[in-house]
Every structure is written in C-alpha cells, then in structure tokens.
Amino acid sequence: MKDDILFMKQALELAARGRGFTSPNPMVGAVVVKDDRVVGTGYHHAAGQPHAEVNAIDDAGADARDATIYVTLEPCNHVGRTPPCTEKILAAGIRKVVVAMQDPNPVVKGGGNAYLRQKGLAVKSGICEAEARQLNEVFVKFIRTRRPFVILKCAATLDGQIATRTRDSKWVTGEHARHHVHAVRHAMDAILVGSGTIRTDDPSLTTRLGHENDRDPHRVILDTRLSTPSHARLFQQASSAKTYIAAGPLSGDQGLLARRDALEAAGAVVLEAPLKDSRVDLEALMDILGQAGITSLLIEGGSRVIGSALSAGIVDKVMFFYAPKILGGNDGVPICSGRGPDLMKDCLTLKNTRVERFGEDVLIEGYLS
C-alpha cells in the first residue's frame, strides 16, 4: 500500500504538468512499474494528443509486459479523439492497474475498470483519490454539470479595500502574488470582469509568465449596455483567446445593435443573456459559457461583480490575497458591493481553507458549499 501511494503521487506530479493545456480533458499522469522499478512514465499533454497511459506504455516499451500501471484517472473504454486506453493496456500485456479515481462522467463511470477486470486484470481503485479529485476539480464539475468551475479572486488591503477613492489599484499586492495570479490565469479557460474595470483600468487580461507557451484565457466582459470601447487594449492583443461580451437582450434596440456591430468588428463575440435586476443573470450566463466549451472561469472583479457572483451562488472557490497595507479610510473601493445578510450567522462560509504566503502578501483560499 505504501508503494502504491508512492507511485501514484509520482503519477499525480506528472499529471500536473498538463495544467492549462488539456482542457476540456482532465489532467492525467501514468507510471509503469515492474519489479518495484519505474520503467515508463507519461502524462496527457493536450486535448487530442495521446493519453497518459499510451505515453507511459510507449515509454516502457517491452518492459510493460507483466507490469503494473498507476494512472490518476480510470482508463477510458470508449472511442473519442483517440482509441480506448483499455485496449492499449491489454495489448501491452499489463497485469495490474492501480487507479486514483473513477471517471466522474456518469455515462462511463466504472466502465474502464470493469472492462479490464473482465479481461482478467487485477484492478485497484481509490489510491490518492482526494488528491486526484482536487487536481481535476474543474473537469469533475464540468463533466457533471456542463457549467464552468468558478474561482473568485481578489487582492485587498488589510482593511478590505481593492482600490483607493481615486480607483487606483496598482499595485495592491507584490510581484510574487501577481506572478501566482498569472499562473492561475494560465490554467483557466476564461477570465471575467465587469465593463467598469475595462473603462477604468483598460487591462490586457493576458497571462504574463514569460514563457513561450503561456496560455491566455478567453476574456468575458459583463456589459449590459455594450459600453466597452471598441479601441480597448484587450482587442489589441496578439492572442488567440476570444473576447466575449455578455450583454442583455438586444432585439429592437437600434443603439445596442449598432454598438454590437462595432464591437464584433473589433473582434468581440457578443453573447445575449437574460437580465436579472437589470444586470446580466450570472446563473444563466454559466450555462451559456458552458455551451461555448468554457470549463473554468476566473472572476477578477471589481467589487460589484464580486458581490453579484457571491449573491448568485455561482462561485466554487475563492482566492483572497491580502497585502500588509491599510488605507485607513472608508472611501476606497470595498471587496464587495451590494446588499449583504442581516445576521452574521448567514455569512457565506469556506471549507478546506488553505493559507499561503507570497512575499509579504497572504493568500486565503477555500471552497464555498
């Protein structure tokens, strides 16, 4: 059992190398072991490319016969963009399969393990399952709900403000924290802000890690009245990421239709969404983004967007960065705006919280129920 955990942790480390590249597929790693020695390793590099099991078995070559394969997700038993991994395992002569977690897709869950057992292989499941589920929390939610996994991120002073009264926010946190945020952006399919952030800050909303393979998230702008300038910086990026602008219903409003045409000419994709209290209905928008193939969404504010996202109940995970700074007034921009609960017992609460330091800044991370 101890060796099982050791080899599975190695497979999980391999799987994480695919972060940011495998969507809409999960991150998967595999290790082939024979006579207590690793003879082959592999991971899923990108959607449409060979799965982790294939890469690990090919790496092992003839040593795969009579070996054990450790894989972080149940081997697939269906034809997708690539052939079933179960057949690759059988053809290689593998004797035993150790799996971290079953496929969360209710249509195929358990099918790969059952098929391999029917063919006479020993199959063990549930090794490092919690770690595997956390690694692929985006995939687990999306495959079950067809809605993106939503992370809410903000950077604030110790007295809970994200900008000064003049709307200056550069920079609340230091370089180390900002670098981590760019790593998070790289891993997400899309990033969401309000149109006020575009008009005030004119951000690029790109990933800037300094690597050749940096992956920009798609950009989603909440803009009920299509007030985003068509000359905004996000339209000037040398990036393959799309810019979605989520507006309300457009039919019959000639002014909105004209602004839509101008924004689409600049490169935007305008999405019509239902309104709720005169703002884009975020619940409905999650379905729309899911239909567009967006499996993960990073919300970066501002305060009205943050408050609306929490109120709508669409947030799965929060990342609050706190800098050792105090504005010392109540005229700055708070983390959230809008109406909160009357009683402290009705606060939203986090579970599985984690605290990490980035230079002088502190990250508090956790999950909403």
Catalytic residues: 53
Query: How far is it, in rounded angstroms, from Cα 138 to Cα 92?
Result: 31
Provide the pairing of β-strand 96-99 with 296-299: unpaired
Complete edge-to-edge strand list for the sheet that includes strand 361-368: 268-272, 243-247, 218-222, 190-194, 296-299, 149-156, 317-322, 361-368, 350-358
In Å, what is the CA distance from 110 to each residue of 79, 99, 225? 16, 11, 47
Query: How far is it, in rounded angstroms, from Cα 97 to Cα 47?
Result: 23
Query: How far is it, in rounded angstroms, from Cα 70 to Cα 89?
Result: 11
Query: How far is it, in rounded angstroms, from Cα 367 to Cα 353?
Result: 7
Two tokens at 271?
A: 């999405």
